[in-house]
Structure 1
């Protein structure tokens, strides 16, 4: 949560990339100071922040820290003083960057990390003539910074092991994936790969082989889908079956020597070619404003990333790891007060949880409540380890009430009250809140089951004891409104009598 001790970052340069950095860091609970001499920078960054608030929190299944304060500073010294991470994202002019580093180093602490968003310069070039060369590193992100986790990191010989470890942990703290290059090279790794594809695409248009939309289709309907989950080398390994990479390389050797590509050359950017590409691009997607395209891109990225998350693969594995870090160690029953419903959920509503009406779709309510049930059961001892031993609870009946609209990006919390714990049965009641507004409830009847016979069975005494302890404490709570209700026919507080 944001407090007086919140970590502080500075962003120098408030364009698309600088704004993306500000959004990612602020939404992870950091205070962010922004320096940009353009008077339009605040409105430009606020537009990026708005997109990030709608998209980024939904990547995780736990609540993010409270958003950090974002402030704008005309004075560079004021912006960077006391910041532990300073991210430079000014235009790609080496003289300008070096001038800014001199001002930053005159004001910042020696322990501060100065990262550059440069897509091409090496750290040795950036730090030439600097007071403390090892303090300046390349930290090259990818747009949108608040969704794509990759940050290419290039350090110099003076950076030092201790600072490198702080770079690694800091980027992981904000949900990013630091990719450390083994040595510096112009344009790093990812942009060199992109440049190769870009050059070839320009030639294909220039030679009249394909139009921009067709080239994009070749990527998004074909190898782009493979790359999103397995990258380049692993995709080729699979493509050659059990023979693996050796077969792939032996077969591709001849092709690589053939006249398949023009990667060593680039077409001349004549006025005719520029107009051809621009016209095709306008025809392809120009009917949509760029802001609308950015929102569509963000929603699609969230869906892809959450799909990978469900599979615990690629970037999804990083998101799951960040969930565990943000959520911390789960609080046990003994550490919780039983005098109120138990907290069993806190998260943002992801973009892909919304329907055509723009609010959370019905089955996502059930998913959120199902997750809350799992959390409640884990609290009383029916966790993954317990289930692995052959016993569990099955849901026998569910009743969900939709009381108010929740839109994508909304911050929801869930609390759970135990209405009944008797023999093989447990009856729980969830309430979903958006701030102080009750938006939905769910009542579940659970039955304890032996997983080998798949039949109802009494839970062991220790689990019964924990359930009984919660039931006894919750029996003194007011019966929740809606408990025992059927569709269209409320049954006033029937559950309360059973719980007593």
Structure 2
């Protein structure tokens, strides 16, 4: 059954939401009176189609339809979820809600506001219980965080429903349990931004120097470990208690101007703008977005192996998308997009990543015969590769969708032999093959051993089935 959502507002955030939903198989109806809305959304979708599939290790579902509607009422009618992403003005948002309620009294209304209290937003609604805040972060199609906030009149059940919806989209729904202006993340971001503006205003540092002070140091830590855990770790064996004992008194020193804001005069605004333009080095927004997306893909993917932070969310999304291979001959053991970090100096997938994708294909076969992660953990048994022969037949580039077809060519006793063919999904061209021999081993002795009877039976069944093809 196709899922559908309505999005009101097609700017950077609304377009990002459209991409996040559509690339997860949802149909999306969008309304935005801006005559440039179709172009803007199309450009965001282009970026998302390139970037989002590189974060996951499983093919995304068939893309949903994105339809631009002529009226807000047409977009909202009958929608179970209405995403509001209009400018940060209470009067505009309330006007939008009134138009929605004229045609839709049941769907959840999820505001993308960055900091307006949901109680203020729902104050004039006829059905206020269905309004929540679902505050995302740009780019919405890559960053997993979404802050969920309820107003005083919100039905708590809608927060729980929202958690399920956004988790299914590969996101991390953070329930902000106390309603407060700016919620959690923006309050923290604003404190840093406020201090950065003062440093620039007082000519202590340039925009590039301020960004370097974050990007090459604390920013890398923050990408995988938040402020509190970072300082807890900095305290050594004493943890946060030791950190507070050592540096707590510094909090009383006049190091920051967090309670003040420099006056935003025309001269100061131009000063900030000129420095940021220089920092961009002549690159336009689309080029900068591509660089940003590639960096985020690498950071998120680097944390997947440790099942940590944003990487854990991406791994969970893989599990939602992944299907257990059927007994078909051959089995489809991989269906995915080649990520940017799998390419080398020549611009194509490097040799080591062919080993990676065929190893992942073999693990899919192992799971199909019962030698899955639980089998390895609980029984201390597994299959180890002892021999591979890989043939490289065509170049493979980042962003290409590839499918691996696997046949079990030998399955008896300790042996499990597979033949993998990696094909370009768009035209079926065989890009590489791998003949792989695995032996069953005990993880305790690190030596070969006989598999349990049920695993042997599944392996033999696949070998017999595949031999007929």
Q: Same fold (TM over 0.5)?
A: yes
Q: Using structure 2 for the length normalisation, give the TM-score.
A: 0.94
Q: Could you say what secondary structure the match of 1:310 adopts? A: coil
- Matches of 1:183 and 1:422 in 2, distance apart? 60
> Is residue 464 of structure 1 aligned with residue 456 of structure 2?
yes
- Matches of 2:67 and 2:466 in 1, distance apart? 45
Q: 1:143 aligns with which of 138, 144, 157?
A: 138
Distance 1:460 1:120, change over 3 A: closer
- Matches of 2:2 and 2:292 in 1, distance apart? 31
- Matches of 1:278 and 1:157 in 2, distance apart? 39
Q: Could you say what secondary structure the match of 1:397 adopts? A: strand
> Is residue 154 of structure 1 aligned with residue 149 of structure 2?
yes
Q: Using structure 1 for the length normalisation, give the TM-score.
A: 0.89
> Is residue 440 of structure 1 aligned with residue 435 of structure 2?
no
> Is residue 398 of structure 1 aligned with residue 388 of structure 2?
yes
Q: Tell me if structure 2 keeps the 8 A contact 1:134–1:155.
A: no
Indicate the residue corresponding to 2:307 in structure 1: 312
How far the C-alpha of 1:394 sits from its partner, in A, is: 2.0
**Aligned-pair Cα RMSD in Å:** 1.9
Indicate the residue corresponding to 1:36 in structure 2: 32
How far the C-alpha of 1:10 sits from its partner, in A, is: 0.8
Which ranges of 4 or more aligned residues in structure 1 deviate by more than 6 Å? Answer: none
> Is residue 348 of structure 1 aligned with residue 337 of structure 2?
yes
Distance 1:371 1:255, change over 3 A: same
- Matches of 2:282 and 2:168 in 1, distance apart? 39
- Matches of 1:292 and 1:261 in 2, distance apart? 34
Q: Could you say what secondary structure the match of 2:182 adopts? A: coil
> Is residue 411 of structure 1 aligned with residue 406 of structure 2?
no
- Matches of 1:168 and 1:385 in 2, distance apart? 27
- Matches of 1:87 and 1:148 in 2, distance apart? 17
Q: Could you say what secondary structure the match of 2:217 adopts? A: helix
Q: Tell me if structure 1 keeps the 8 A contact 2:402–2:422.
A: yes
- Matches of 1:78 and 1:174 in 2, distance apart? 25
- How many pairs does the alignment contain? 466
Larger Rg: 1
Alignment of 1:55-454 (within 5 A): 55-110=51-106, 112-327=107-322, 330=324, 336-338=326-328, 340-388=329-377, 389-435=379-425, 436-454=428-446
> Is residue 19 of structure 1 aligned with residue 15 of structure 2?
yes
Structure 1, unpaired ranges of 5+: 478-500
How far the C-alpha of 1:180 sits from its partner, in A, is: 1.6
How far the C-alpha of 1:457 sits from its partner, in A, is: 4.1
Q: Could you say what secondary structure the match of 1:448 adopts? A: strand
Please say which of residues 363-372 and 380-389 is displaced more in the overlay. 380-389
Q: Tell me if structure 2 keeps the 8 A contact 1:54–1:351.
A: no
- Matches of 2:380 and 2:252 in 1, distance apart? 59
How far the C-alpha of 1:228 sits from its partner, in A, is: 1.2
Structure 2, unpaired ranges of 5+: none
- Matches of 2:385 and 2:341 in 1, distance apart? 26
